[in-house]
Amino acid sequence: MANETFDLVVIGAGPGGYVAAIRAAQLGMKVAVVEKNATLGGTCLNVGCIPSKALLQSSHLFEETGHDLAAHGIVVGAPTLDFAQMMKRKGEVVGATTKGIEFLFKKNKITWLQGTGRIEAAGKVSVIGPDGAVKDTVAAKNILIAAGSEVTPLPGVAIDEKKIVSSTGALELSEVPKHLVVVGAGIIGLELGSVWRRLGAEVTVVEFLDRICAGIDDEITKFFQRALTKQGLKFKLGAKVTKAETTGAGVTLTVEPAAGKNGGGAAETLQADIVLVAIGRRPYVAGLGLDKAGVKLTERGRIAVDAHFQTSVPGIYAIGDVIDGPMLAHKASEDGIACVETLAGQKGHVNWDLVPSVVYTQPEVAWVGKTEEQLKAAGVAYKVGKYPFTADPRSRANAATEGFVKVLSDKTTDRVLGVHIFGAEAGTMIGEAALAMEFAASAEDIGRVCHAHPTVNEALKEAALASWEKPIHL
Ligand SMILES: Cc1cc2nc3c(=O)[nH]c(=O)nc-3n(C[C@H](O)[C@H](O)[C@H](O)COP(=O)(O)OP(=O)(O)OC[C@H]3O[C@@H](n4cnc5c(N)ncnc54)[C@H](O)[C@@H]3O)c2cc1C
């Protein structure tokens, strides 16, 4: 492989890197991907989206079987948990998905260089083995950094992946904890907190801010927190964890008011057998050789890129979690496609303003575009249309009536500016809203599209009608 020249060398095989590689190969480029993990797929496939959704689905079925079937006239005894089988299935889902990427690499004739990629200079990448020695050096007409992100550490709370775990450890617990304390009420903390609560853990969520899930529309957040509380999650908002002591029995956490001891309230201690640190993720740039190559970072430590994903060094590009924008798998993939299409002479572009987000709890939360708070802050005059799932016949038939759809549209032009959904199938529904908004739809446009009956998407149509003029069924 030494001195072989590739049109594109991608560093990192997450949803940003592997998708970019496949698209580049489709466009006729000779592509290599350097990946240090033993499997392809990055955070998303190995320790992120896929294993967490496998456990969310299994734990949801467990809870549903225990609580919700009687209303349908299905009588079963209390379900028992085959924990080993649930975890085995999760592993199998991950295995099949990562193997699928290996297959796609072979199909598209993409070379996987196993090891850590280090940029020596524009046009030159070394592959470092586990012993730290250079295994290979390849020439690259273009280099694409897709190195992703890692867990943001919390000072005073050292992660050991046994009792104090990151999301990675929380997906691999050896048994259901009695008391799980989640530090951080963001998407990952609430999803994994929900998994373990459904399986029988007491779960306390400690959050620095006085609200959960910063960035979600305020009104949705209030309903969301209420639902999670009803399900049994306990919240300590406006509180910060300042110390963690591991004992034989578990972990003793010191929790103080976020405003500091003088800001009101005394410090308290919480006993947990497992603590999940989920305060966010930060770009992973270690070992890439960025300094040497002259690749500049932003003030927030992400790789700085221009509108075409080029870094400060011509011929070196970056996408996904290592650069600005939402840290989401589908955004990383779209970055990758746009970047390599531009390299191939096409016109790639990603609209980061219309990247949909989903919280895969039950009910789910999903949104795309602006929140009411953002519109107010920007001084945009807007209309609100809401429609509850209680008024939607399919949701009634499904016994899933909690939540509502909210459509925000421009007061003058009626253009849809934001869609926010709290409901059982919000994550699937939001795709329609994203599509409509990419085509600059008005609320009237969505409201006039013929939706199949009975489907939950009729609630989006009705909310759009409510934003434009009036809903039919309310
Ligand atoms: C628990 C959890 C749940 C999540 N759930 C969702 C979800 O439901 N939906 C969603 O959209 N997002 C979710 N995310 C976020 C999502 O995983 C990331 O946004 C996404 O993986 C980013 O893709 P990426 O390609 O930029 O980086 P990554 O997926 O992080 O991949 C980067 C890859 O680069 C490799 N690498 C790094 N440096 C080097 C180097 N020098 N040499 C070789 N290889 C290197 C790494 O080993 C890794 O494989 C979740 C994350 C977590 C942790």
Q: How far is the CA of 200 from the centre of ligand 1 (A)?
A: 29
User: Cα(95)–Cα(91) distance, rounded to whole angstroms?
Assistant: 6
41 lines ligand 1 (CB under 6 A): no
Q: Model confidence over 270-305: pLDDT tens digits?
A: 999 999 999 999 999 999 999 999 999 999 999 999
Residues carrying an active site annotation: 453
Q: Give the mean pLDDT of the chain.
A: 97
Q: How far is the CA of 42 from the centre of ligand 1 (A)?
A: 5
User: Cα(166)–Cα(376) distance, rounded to whole angstroms?
Assistant: 36
Q: Model confidence over 111-145: pLDDT tens digits?
A: 999 999 999 999 999 999 999 999 999 999 999 99
Quick one: tokens of 3?
């001195």
98 lines ligand 1 (CB under 6 A): no
123 lines ligand 1 (CB under 6 A): no
Q: Assess whether pLDDT exceeds 80 at residue 161.
A: yes
The whole-model pTM stands at 0.97
Distance from chain centroid for Cα 287: 25
Q: How far is the CA of 13 from the centre of ligand 1 (A)?
A: 9
Q: How far is the CA of 17 from the centre of ligand 1 (A)?
A: 9
14 lines ligand 1 (CB under 6 A): yes
Give the pLDDT mean for 265-269. 89
Q: What is the pLDDT of residue 259?
A: 83
Could you count the other beta carbons within 10 Å of the beta carbon of residue 235? 20
Quick one: tokens of 320?
């996904």
Q: Assess whether pLDDT exceeds 90 at residue 186.
A: yes
50 lines ligand 1 (CB under 6 A): no
Q: Model confidence over 54-112: pLDDT tens digits?
A: 999 999 999 999 999 999 999 999 999 999 999 999 999 999 999 999 999 999 999 99
148 lines ligand 1 (CB under 6 A): yes
Distance from chain centroid for Cα 372: 22
Q: What is the pLDDT of residue 249?
A: 86
Looking only at the bridges linking them, the beta strands covering 134-145 and 5-11 are parallel
Q: What percent of the chain is modeled with pLDDT above 90?
A: 97
303 lines ligand 1 (CB under 6 A): no
Atom 2, ligand 1: residue with shortest CA distance: 48
146 lines ligand 1 (CB under 6 A): yes
From the alpha carbon of 12, which atom of ligand 1 is closest?
Answer: 34
Give the pLDDT mean for 431-443. 98
From the alpha carbon of 34, which atom of ligand 1 is closest?
Answer: 43
330 lines ligand 1 (CB under 6 A): yes
**Three-class DSSP labels, the chain:** CCCCEEEEEEECCCCCHHHHHHHHHHCCCCEEEEECCCCCCHHHHHHCHHHHHHHHHHHHHHHHHHHCCHHHCCCCCCCCCCHHHHHHHHHHHHHHHHHHHHHHHHHCCCEEEECEEEEEECCEEEEECCCCCEEEEEEEEEEEECCCEEECCECCECCCCCCEECHHHHCCCCCCCCEEEEECCCHHHHHHHHHHHHCCCEEEEECCCCCCCCCCCHHHHHHHHHHHHHHCCEEECCEEEEEEEECCCCEEEEEEECCCHHHCCCCEEEEECEEEECCCEEECCCCCCHHHHCCCECCCCCECCCCCCECCCCCEEECHHHCCCCCCHHHHHHHHHHHHHHHCCCCCCCCHHHCCEEECCCCEEEEEECCHHHHHHCCCCEEEEEEEHHHCHHHHHCCCCCCEEEEEEECCCCEEEEEEEEECCHHHHHHHHHHHHHCCCEHHHHHHCCCCCCCCCHHHHHHHHHHHCCCCCC
Q: Assess whether pLDDT exceeds 70 at residue 2.
A: no
Give the pLDDT mean for 145-169. 97
From the alpha carbon of 148, which atom of ligand 1 is closest?
Answer: 27
Could you give the C-alpha distances from 173 to 41, 163, 463, in angstroms and in order?
A: 22, 9, 41
Mutate to test the pocket of ligand 1, among 10, 22, 40, 44 (most ligand atoms within 8 A of CB): 44
Q: Assess whether pLDDT exceeds 70 at residue 242.
A: yes
Q: Quick one: pLDDT band at residue 266, thresholds 50, 70, 90?
A: confident
Q: Quick one: pLDDT band at residue 325, thresholds 50, 70, 90?
A: very high
From the alpha carbon of 168, which atom of ligand 1 is closest?
Answer: 1
Q: Assess whether pLDDT exceeds 90 at residue 187.
A: yes
Position with higher pLDDT, 4 vs 129? 129
Mutate to test the pocket of ligand 1, among 49, 128, 165, 367 (most ligand atoms within 8 A of CB): 49
Q: What is the pLDDT of residue 265?
A: 76
44 lines ligand 1 (CB under 6 A): yes
Q: What is the pLDDT of residue 261?
A: 56
Q: Quick one: pLDDT band at residue 1, thresholds 50, 70, 90?
A: low
Mutate to test the pocket of ligand 1, among 37, 39, 43 (most ligand atoms within 8 A of CB): 43
